[in-house]
């Protein structure tokens, strides 16, 4: 489905306001193939490069070196809108809110449909029963869970070939997480798509067919949860606490 070949991303920084430019590597020579029909979880310590990797795939950042191939096509230089039309969808960690725009507006744009029956079927897939929700403004009054449901609905409305979710549990309560995991699983199976979830959350990591552990911009581990936990404990790639976004979070490892 999507293949990363020797992908690297670097940023250039000045040192303490001087003219000296330092090069900082964020992603370093990553090669990996994401297969159709599978769910992948990308995790690792904060600052490891996992969200940057997702943004490189979407085209939000341009790689410094390497190639990205999607459906056997080189998309390395392809713009975001072109990638979107090709079938790649992206869910941001902090979704945008648009003053003066309703959920109905966004969903109609995403699906290309504006009839009530079609919109009702789409919102039911994300657990929204009331049609009144469609006319809610997408503004600061929405809760974290509501804005996440709206974004997920706009993603699944497009039936993407590749869906990328960056920290989908940000700003939502623990009771919303498992239904979100179940939704991602259902949509992935339904479309035989590829799904990439960037997360620290155990529920998403356990739902994945393959887990990628990123450390210092490189893939430190690929495999299942059992192997990942062993590596974390025995080889010190990162501590279990690093993978928990909040202390005493019930979804953390321990």
Q: Are 188 and 114 in contact (CB under 8 A)?
A: no
Residue environment code for 207-237, b if the CB has 16+ CB neighbours within 10 A, otherwise e: bbeebbbbbbbebbbeeeeeebbebbeeeeb
pTM of the model: 0.82
Q: Where in the chain are the domains?
A: 2-98+154-243
Axis-axis angle for helices 144-156, 103-111 (nearest 10)? 20
CA distance 121 to 49: 36
Q: Following DSSP, what letter does each residue of 3-49 receive, concatenated? A: EEEEEEEEEEEESTTSS-EEEEEEEEEEEEEEPTT-EEEEE-STTSS
Q: Which CATH class is domain 2-98+154-243?
A: alpha beta
Q: How far apart are CA 2 and CA 225, in angstroms?
A: 23
The number of angstroms, rounded, from the C-alpha of 139 to the middle of its chain's C-alpha atoms is 22
Q: Report CA Rg, the chain.
A: 19
Q: What is the pLDDT tens value at each position of the chain, 254 positions in all?
A: 899 999 999 887 777 666 667 778 889 999 999 999 999 999 888 888 899 999 999 999 999 999 999 999 999 999 999 999 999 999 887 766 777 788 888 888 888 888 888 888 888 887 777 777 788 888 777 777 777 888 888 888 888 999 999 888 777 767 778 888 988 998 898 888 999 999 888 888 889 999 999 988 999 888 888 777 766 554 333 344 444 444 444 443 33
Query: Sign of torsion, CA 136 163 27 237?
Result: positive
Neighbour count for residue 204 (Cβ, 10 Å): 25
**Number of residues that make up the chain:** 254
Nearest to 210 by CA among 197, 196, 223: 223
Name the nearest CA neighbour of 205 among 167, 156, 158.
167
Find out whether 36 and 1 touch, Cβ atoms under 8 Å: yes
């Amino acid at each position: 489905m999507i293949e990363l070949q020797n992908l690297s991303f670097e940023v250039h920084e000045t040192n303490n306001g001087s003219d000296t430019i330092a090069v900082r590597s964020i992603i370093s020579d990553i090669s990996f193939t994401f297969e159709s029909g599978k769910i992948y979880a990308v995790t690792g310590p904060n600052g490891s490069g996992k969200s940057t990797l997702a943004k490189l795939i979407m085209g939000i950042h341009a790689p410094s070196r390497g190639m990205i191939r999607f459906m056997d096509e080189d998309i390395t230089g392809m713009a975001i809108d072109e990638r979107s039309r090709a079938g790649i969808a992206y869910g941001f960690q902090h979704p945008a809110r648009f003053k003066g725009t309703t959920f109905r507006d966004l969903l109609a744009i995403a699906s290309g449909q504006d009839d009530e029956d079609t919109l009702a079927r789409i919102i039911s897939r994300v657990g929204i029963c009331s049609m009144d929700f469609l006319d809610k403004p997408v503004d600061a009054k929405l809760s974290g869970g509501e804005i996440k449901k709206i974004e997920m609905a706009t993603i699944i409305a497009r039936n993407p070939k590749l869906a990328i979710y960056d920290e989908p549990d940000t700003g939502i309560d623990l009771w919303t997480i498992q239904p979100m995991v179940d939704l991602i699983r259902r949509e992935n199976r339904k479309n035989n798509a590829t799904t990439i979830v960037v997360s620290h959350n155990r529920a998403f990591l356990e739902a994945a067919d393959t887990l990628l552990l990123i450390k210092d911009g490189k893939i430190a581990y690929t495999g299942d949860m059992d192997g990942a936990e062993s590596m974390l404990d025995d080889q010190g790639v990162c501590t279990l606490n690093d993978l928990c976004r909040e202390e005493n979070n019930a979804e953390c490892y321990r």
